[in-house]
Amino acid sequence: MSRRPHSRSAIYAREWAVVTAHPLATAAGVRLLVSGGNAVDAAVAAAAAVGVVEPFSSNLLGGESYVLLWKAAEQRLLAVEATGYAPAGASLEHVRAAGGIPFYGPRAVIVPGSLDGWAKLLAEHGSVRLGEALAPAVDLAERGFPVSPRLERRMTGFREVLLRLPTSARVFLKAGAPYRAGELLVQKELARTLRELVAAADAHQDRLAGIQAARDWVYRGPLAEAILHFLAAEGGWFAPEDLARYEARYVDTVATTYRGYEVHAVPPPSQGIALLQALNILADDDLRALGPDSPDAVHLMVEALKLAYADREAYVADPRVVPVPLERLLSKAYARAQRARLSPDRALAWPIAGGPVLPDTTSLAVADAQGNLLVTTTSIGQVGIVAGDTGVVLNNRMRMFHEAPGHPNCVAPGKRVRITLNPAMALREGRPFLAFASPGADVQTQAQLQAFLYLVEFGLELQAAVDAPRWVSTAFPNTSLPHPVGGRLFLEPSFPDAVRQGLRARGHQVEDAEESAISADEGMVVAIQAGPDGGWIAAADPRRETCAFGW
């Protein structure tokens, strides 16, 4: 099949593997594994580091995460929800009085959950002290790192936004201008905050007591006070109890079967079920016979994804507030009924009703020699606001709520927003086969679906499956306010012309992904596959600055 011109080799490793969105974050994870840490230790280090070197994508203290962990010693899959909720003052009445939810700034922030989730994992499944896990991130923040070409582009693209956020501009602009590739970006304030966090943990000899002290320092101690003071001064909607009562928690995964694989995703309010629904809809089609370069195969995948996203819009929200009919949405009978709605020669156009149900983000994956496998998507949303002089970039996740009364994802205090973060893991015969994730908002599930099908349906090797030509659909409401429907299907240039022509003939509004504001590189797949005789195979998406390494 067609391939991207700038591919790379997969990493074949005997003992462990790390793949992240940035080489320095990968190096942070490697550092922990080389020193004897396990997959959780390395993942915490990588997640903290990527928040430093990808500041518009993630932040350990200001963002949110979902994590899947295969615990080899217990032969079970764990899921951690470390996502927050709308603050106490974010009622629909207050939102409307303020003129709506802003895309950026103090009123765009939900309660950050990442630190509590990673601390929970480190305490219960890691082996090192918090200071060891955070050491690479502290070093990168304190001594700086060379700005990458992608980060320069992000700074340039967000310059006008940053200028309206003085605390952020002070860190990420130099005399009002973006840093250039190769220049050192130093984040002294963030380094100081991380050092104070480590000091809170190191005040206790016991490792677990130290981690708990760090959690308290963030959510009920000095950092909480600093964040609350800043947000109050800037007109935010937070109350003290919003942070004080936060706690990450274990959740049950959602799952389906596909061609002998048991595919797991994280539950609502994540959009994870959309991946599983698309697989269910395609389960009875012989995609392999159609071939990966066939317009018929691409059409079916796109249309299945559209139906899954229509259900996302109709049903997926915080299940603590709105009932989500998971059993029905994931049933094979429902999938067959949905499949019957698809035409082989005509594209569905929005509005697409949900089925009749009865009564910039980052990802990483780590595997270790003990057989543990972890995959996460962790995020702040896009460019966030720096909380005063803490150096902490706070998320702008409020923009994913709806403002229409009666919508399942309508904003309310204490409600978790429907979120795109969706790490996934496939098991075969009860053991890990593949951990895979992608950032990119609405592109996430689309990129995951394509990579998984290229691997298990079309028989490509893992790196080739990640490299394969990618499409991105916008034929559904965008996750972010004002939730526009783009109605386009973007194809990477490496697709054959016959695919474009075949899709246009079916009514798809096809455009070139590299000539639009919607770029397929927003979907950046990271994946680790279990080797046939032990060990691991790691693949990093060439569309971004991803890096895989192993031993």
Q: Catalytic site residues? A: 361
Q: How far is CA 480 from CA 168, 313, 402, 472, in A?
A: 21, 12, 9, 16
CA 470-473-477 angle, 5° bins:
150
**Contact (CB, 8 A) for 131 and 175:** no
Tokens standing for 511? 């455009």
Nearest CA among 183, 190, 147, 153 for reference residue 168 = 190
**Contact (CB, 8 A) for 169 and 104:** no
Terminal alpha carbon distance of the chain: 30
C-alpha Rg value of the chain to the nearest Å:
22
Tokens standing for 129? 């002290």
Determine the residue type at 330.
Answer: L
Omega before 55 within 30 of 0, i.e. cis: no
Q: Are strands 64-71 and 76-82 parallel, antiparallel or unpaired?
A: antiparallel
Q: What is the DSSP string of 440-455?
A: STTHHHHHHHHHHHHH
124's CB contacts (< 8 A; 6+ apart) are none
Q: Which residues of 464-494 are buried (b: 16+ CB within 10 A; e: fewer)?
A: bbbbbbbbbbbbbbebbbebeebebbbbbeb
Look at the chain and count its residues. Answer: 551
CA dihedral of 242, 248, 249, 255, whole degrees rounded to 10: 110
CA 121-253-545 angle, 5° bins:
65
41's CB contacts (< 8 A; 6+ apart) are 32, 33, 122, 126, 127, 128, 132, 133
